[in-house]
Chains A and B, each alone.
Chain A
Amino acid sequence: MNRGVSVAARPVTVTVDGQAVEVPEGSTVREACAKAGVEIPTLCFLENLTPVNVCRVCVVELEGSRALVPSCSRKVEGGMVIHTDTPRVRTSRKMVLELLASSVDLSAAGPEVAEWLAAYGAEPERYGRRAPARTARPDLGEAATVAQPPKVDNALYVRDYSRCILCYKCVEACGEDAQFTFAIAVAGRGFDAHISTEFDVPLPDSACVYCGNCVGVCPTGALMFKSEFDLRQAGAWDPARQTVTPTICPYCGVGCTLELHVQDNRIVKVTSPLDHTVSHGHLCVKGRFGFEFVQDRDPGG
């Protein structure tokens, strides 16, 4: 995140796929690639969060480096020679996508994920049939998955960790990158690592303030508005029928921009643009979830 005032950063020249590009010192390799017109796939990266470089789908080849480097966080240095489309890069990206797709339900992720899976030739089915539930020891020939029932413990949002790729974004948004609430953290280790409240207590017993900023940054639908979840359960979720209306939050003087996603004349979820100068896409409980009064037209209540 580069929010501070930069004092005339010196330009640095790097080579991306044979093309020399000049970017300010302190830029990331991903930004240099973007300047060269090369789009890099990312999963755990988001403009309004500190890069954690854990998904490794954004890796590129850097001459002189033994391993591939994560472009989302690696800072440019003058003279770097970067390759974004070598066999090593393609294999690593394919494998990262394949490993995720074989163990996580990506069906509610953004459409770009399916495109990358196809583009890199990922074959998630080659690990065997998917284990129907998360278990320490799947049967022989089965591929372990994180499949588990969704956690529905409050009226505002649902946590479906069978969709979780462990990108750390929700933890960052809950903590130091936005909300400073720290209701959730990564717990456990290895394949058993998961996002959790302390001792896995339900959200109402945790420190959660329901700002929904975790929902706002989740790339796979693991965190979802209850309204969206219920519509999906009923088979009625239909983005094609939705309109998005930008407006300003009515609650306080900060002036956060809201995007109201409306389906069948009801608000089904609220987002906020990442490039918003005030809130950088983050909201509070009122802006994120306080819209029921708009649609509560039933005089019987």
Chain B
Amino acid sequence: MTEHEPNRVPEATPREMAAVDAVVGPELNGAAPAAAARRMRVQLQRPYRRDLLLPALLALQQAEGWISPGGLAYLAQRLALPLAEAYGVASFYGLLALEPEPPTVLHVCDDVACQTAGAMELCQTLERVLGPAGSAPESSEVGWHRSPCLGRCAEGPAVYVQRLGAAGGGARWDAAQTAEEWLQAVATGMAVTSAVPIRRRPGLPQPLTGRIGRIPPDSLDAYRRHGGYQALRRALALGREGVLREIAAARLVGRGGAGFPTAAKWEAVAKSPEPVRYLVVNADESEPGTFKDRALLEGDPFAIVEGATIAAWVIGAHRVYVFVRGEYPEARRSLEAAIAQARAHGYLGATIMDEPYPLEIEVRSGAGAYICGEETALFNAIEGKRGEPRNKPPFPTVHGLFGKPTVVNNVETIANVPVVLNLGAAAYRDLGSAGGSGTRLFCVSGQVMAPGLVEVPIGTPLKEVVAIAGGLRPGRELRAVLLGGAAGTFVGPEAWDMALDPEVVRARGATLGSGVVVVFDDTADLGAIVRRIARFFREESCGQCVPCRLGTVRQLELVERLEAGRPLGSLEQERALHRDLVQVMRDASICGLGQTAANAVASALALGLVGEGSRGQ
């Protein structure tokens, strides 16, 4: 076989090499020959850490503002990865640029909730000041792109800012400033977002959100003074079996959208013959309209650390990965600070409280891909691969992260673990209703007076949840509610009294999903909203399987035709076409993204929200 040397070997800049080395470890060349050989041997014995690919790509992006051929080549060589494969991974993620970008790049959310908060006006302003999205030459100071939901729906229109050489962060449009003043503030890191607003109603139990905004999130002492780490103490006293029984008796189900019983998942891994297991906390919250996990991570991070500690101990995992979406650097910092403090005080590391149990929690960042919230795509992202879902079976509890038995729990699920142990299973069940135990977090946004996070007992009627978020604006009427996000369903005003109980909602063909409640009144341009959802799936499909990769494209084309009043053939033909798309995507897609990507559009078509008459007054 002939050895082919590439004709061009692009050079990495010193800044790029430093960024990669900071993640991967320093290069071991350049020392005295004998020492180098010895070190080389050491280096070669060390397993190549492909799982460092995504962290190193993010480091390159931050250091240089893009993934240059030279930087990527250096990184690929350091990880002993084929360059084409590294490129395939880099090109998968929305926050990694493969062309030079200006030093400040704004990702402007024009998704469903922010559209009702003035995102289109902000985009028009930016077009006027900066030119069309994605068009800024490298030489300009600020560039901008349109972005899917950024999880800042109660603070919209939301912006995520990438800055050269610095961590990214959220920003909030300030209509009181001129566009130029605001851009100046953004570029210098002055325009930062607020925390997620928590909307409360006196008298309602709030085991998940009670501490948020009331105690400093970075203080372990404050957390302990407010009930923190009592659950871990109780768990250690109960023993692993006891905790499993308690979680099962509490009927805790996953809060990520699928609603799977948590105890069953834990038990499958706890009983695995394989000694190496993992707990993965899914904080890749990207379902449009969802911001609950961000609120928990930013506002009460120790609760997540404590919940993850209990879960890991029960299932016998000694390493926890928390995969935080890339657009949430504040949440990542908050969580990492909590982990460091917990470690310093013996809650992690060699012991968990008095129990000798080695446990580490590692935080990983996403890089802009909705699909990585799918559990098997998330594994691939952590492993340094393209975030493509895997076929199931085998299921994660058998063959998960790095091929080991793995429990994946959503952040909110993990937050419920200490609650169950603190209250006891019976009291926890009593918090909810027949349809489910405990409370649920609802992310209420859209055309309400006080958008924010609402914690209510499961089974609370929709209209009450919306009322806690300030209710509709005076004089306006309800037109539709998007429940469960882009993967969810639209419901009409007739659902106003519906109990937000998974069983009741499912019986009506809808879903609670990740707790999204986006409210639209009679002024909303719902056709534009539905079009945005169709575009969302076209852009966020991983592209692996045919039904989703092409079905999402054809769905967007169909919605655009109906919106323009130019159907292909009759309206009935278009509806039949969509029914076929729904069926192939639901039946034959690899993962949950494809299987649900036509739901919202189907419900919108059924409610007459697309095309003629969909625009509000």
Query: Could you list which residues of chain A lie within 8 angstroms of chain B, going by C-beta atoms?
Result: 53-57, 59, 67-68, 70, 73-74, 88, 91-92, 94-96, 99-100, 102-103, 126-128, 138, 140-144, 165-166, 175, 181-193, 196-199, 201, 204-209, 284-285
Interface pair A140/B560, CB less than 8 Å apart: yes
Any chain A CB within 8 A of the CB of B583? yes
Q: Known: A126-B577, A187-B88, A205-B8. Contact between A99 and B550, CB under 8 A?
A: yes
Q: Known: A191-B552, A284-B1. Contact between A88 and B541, CB under 8 A?
A: no
Interface pair A92/B568, CB less than 8 Å apart: no
Interface pair A196/B557, CB less than 8 Å apart: no
How many angstroms from the CA of A157 to the CA of B1 in the assembled complex?
Answer: 18
Interface pair B538/A92, CB less than 8 Å apart: no
Interface pair A56/B553, CB less than 8 Å apart: no
Any chain A CB within 8 A of the CB of B91? yes
Any chain A CB within 8 A of the CB of B292? no
21 residue pairs of the A-B complex, CB under 8 angstroms, read: A54-B545, A55-B546, A56-B590, A59-B587, A73-B391, A96-B547, A126-B573, A127-B577, A187-B87, A187-B88, A188-B91, A189-B369, A190-B549, A191-B543, A193-B542, A196-B84, A196-B91, A198-B69, A199-B69, A201-B6, A207-B84
Any chain A CB within 8 A of the CB of B180? no
Query: Could you list which residues of chain B lie within 8 angstroms of chain A, going by C-beta atoms?
Result: 1-2, 4, 6-8, 69, 72-73, 82-88, 91-92, 98, 369, 386, 391, 393, 538-547, 549-554, 557, 560-561, 564, 566, 568-569, 573, 577, 580-581, 583-584, 586-590, 595
Q: How distant is A139 from chain B, measured CB to nearest CB, in Å?
A: 10
Q: Pick the contact of A95 from B91, B539, B547, B564 — CB < 8 Å?
A: B547
Question: Which B residue sits closest to A56, measured CB to CB?
Answer: B588
Interface pair A141/B568, CB less than 8 Å apart: yes
Interface pair B542/A185, CB less than 8 Å apart: no
Interface pair B542/A96, CB less than 8 Å apart: no
Query: Nearest 9 A-B pairs (CB), nearest first?
Result: A193-B543, A182-B82, A185-B88, A95-B584, A99-B550, A198-B87, A190-B541, A92-B588, A187-B91
How many angstroms from the CA of A59 to the CA of B560 in the assembled complex?
Answer: 30
Q: Known: A185-B87, A186-B88, A196-B84. Contact between A191 and B588, CB under 8 A?
A: no
Interface pair B86/A198, CB less than 8 Å apart: yes
Q: How distant is A100 from chain B, measured CB to nearest CB, in Å?
A: 6
Residues of B close to A142: CB separation below 8 A: 557
How many angstroms from the CA of A127 to the CA of B557 in the assembled complex?
Answer: 8
Q: Known: A140-B560, A198-B69. Contact between A92 and B87, CB under 8 A?
A: no
Interface pair B541/A92, CB less than 8 Å apart: no
Interface pair B85/A185, CB less than 8 Å apart: yes
Number of residue pairs across A and B with beta carbons under 8 Å?
180
Interface pair A182/B546, CB less than 8 Å apart: no
Residues of A close to B4: CB separation below 8 A: 207-209
Residues of A close to B564: CB separation below 8 A: 140
Q: How distant is B565 from chain A, measured CB to nearest CB, in Å?
A: 10
Question: Which B residue sits closest to A197, measured CB to CB?
Answer: B84
**Which secondary structure dominates chain B's binding surface?**
helix
Residues of B close to A206: CB separation below 8 A: 6, 84
Question: Which B residue sits closest to A202, measured CB to CB?
Answer: B7
Question: Which B residue sits closest to A70, measured CB to CB?
Answer: B391
How many angstroms from the CA of A70 to the CA of B545 in the assembled complex?
Answer: 11
How many angstroms from the CA of A68 to the CA of B569 in the assembled complex?
Answer: 30
Interface pair A204/B7, CB less than 8 Å apart: yes
Residues of A close to B569: CB separation below 8 A: 126
Residues of B close to A199: CB separation below 8 A: 69, 72, 87, 98
Q: Pick the contact of B550 from A100, A187, A208 — CB < 8 Å?
A: A100
Q: Pick the contact of B549 from A68, A127, A191 — CB < 8 Å?
A: A191
How many angstroms from the CA of A94 to the CA of B551 in the assembled complex?
Answer: 13
Beyond the given A59-B588, A91-B584, please list 8 additional residue pairs across the A-B interface where CB-CB is below 8 A. Answer: A67-B588, A95-B584, A100-B546, A141-B566, A182-B82, A193-B549, A207-B83, A209-B4
Q: How distant is A127 from chain B, measured CB to nearest CB, in Å?
A: 6
Q: Known: A91-B580, A95-B583. Contact between A189 and B546, CB under 8 A?
A: no
How many angstroms from the CA of A67 to the CA of B87 in the assembled complex?
Answer: 33
Q: Pick the contact of B553 from A95, A103, A184, A207 — CB < 8 Å?
A: A103
Q: Pick the contact of A128 from B8, B73, B557, B583 — CB < 8 Å?
A: B557
Q: Pick the contact of A189 from B541, B568, B584, B595 — CB < 8 Å?
A: B541
Interface pair B542/A99, CB less than 8 Å apart: no
Interface pair B554/A140, CB less than 8 Å apart: no
Q: How distant is B240 from chain A, measured CB to nearest CB, in Å?
A: 30
Q: Known: A99-B547, A207-B6. Contact between A190 and B84, CB under 8 A?
A: no
How many angstroms from the CA of A202 to the CA of B28 in the assembled complex?
Answer: 32
Interface pair A182/B587, CB less than 8 Å apart: no
Interface pair B92/A198, CB less than 8 Å apart: no
Interface pair B82/A185, CB less than 8 Å apart: yes
How many angstroms from the CA of A185 to the CA of B560 in the assembled complex?
Answer: 32
Most central of B7, B87, B566, B573 by chain A CB within 10 Å: B87
Interface pair B1/A209, CB less than 8 Å apart: yes
Residues of A close to B539: CB separation below 8 A: 189-190
How many angstroms from the CA of A138 to the CA of B560 in the assembled complex?
Answer: 11
Interface pair A56/B546, CB less than 8 Å apart: yes
Q: Pick the contact of A54 from B8, B583, B590 — CB < 8 Å?
A: B590
Residues of B close to A141: CB separation below 8 A: 561, 566, 568
Most central of A53, A187, A188 by chain B CB within 10 Å: A187
How many angstroms from the CA of A194 to the CA of B110 in the assembled complex?
Answer: 27
Interface pair A91/B583, CB less than 8 Å apart: yes
Residues of B close to A181: CB separation below 8 A: 82
Question: Which A residue sits closest to B7, measured CB to CB?
Answer: A205
Q: Known: A56-B588, A186-B386, A191-B538. Contact between A166 and B549, CB under 8 A?
A: yes
Interface pair A192/B543, CB less than 8 Å apart: yes
Question: Which B residue sits closest to A77, measured CB to CB?
Answer: B393
Residues of B close to A74: CB separation below 8 A: 391, 393
Q: Known: A95-B583, A140-B564. Contact between A189 and B91, CB under 8 A?
A: yes
How many angstroms from the CA of A191 to the CA of B98 in the assembled complex?
Answer: 18
Q: Known: A67-B588, A96-B547, A190-B538. Contact between A88 and B583, CB under 8 A?
A: yes
Residues of B close to A68: CB separation below 8 A: 587-588
Residues of B close to A102: CB separation below 8 A: 550, 554
How many angstroms from the CA of A270 to the CA of B553 in the assembled complex?
Answer: 37
How many angstroms from the CA of A183 to the CA of B86 in the assembled complex?
Answer: 11
Residues of B close to A196: CB separation below 8 A: 84, 87-88, 91
Interface pair A92/B583, CB less than 8 Å apart: yes
Residues of B close to A165: CB separation below 8 A: 546
Residues of B close to A209: CB separation below 8 A: 1-2, 4
Interface pair B546/A54, CB less than 8 Å apart: yes
Residues of A close to B590: CB separation below 8 A: 53-54, 56
Interface pair A140/B549, CB less than 8 Å apart: no
Interface pair A183/B547, CB less than 8 Å apart: no
How many angstroms from the CA of A12 to the CA of B270 in the assembled complex?
Answer: 29
Residues of A close to B547: CB separation below 8 A: 56, 92, 95-96, 99
Q: Known: A95-B580, A205-B6. Contact between A189 and B69, CB under 8 A?
A: no
Residues of B close to A88: CB separation below 8 A: 583, 587
Interface pair A67/B595, CB less than 8 Å apart: yes
Q: Pick the contact of B568 from A54, A126, A186 — CB < 8 Å?
A: A126
Interface pair B546/A190, CB less than 8 Å apart: no
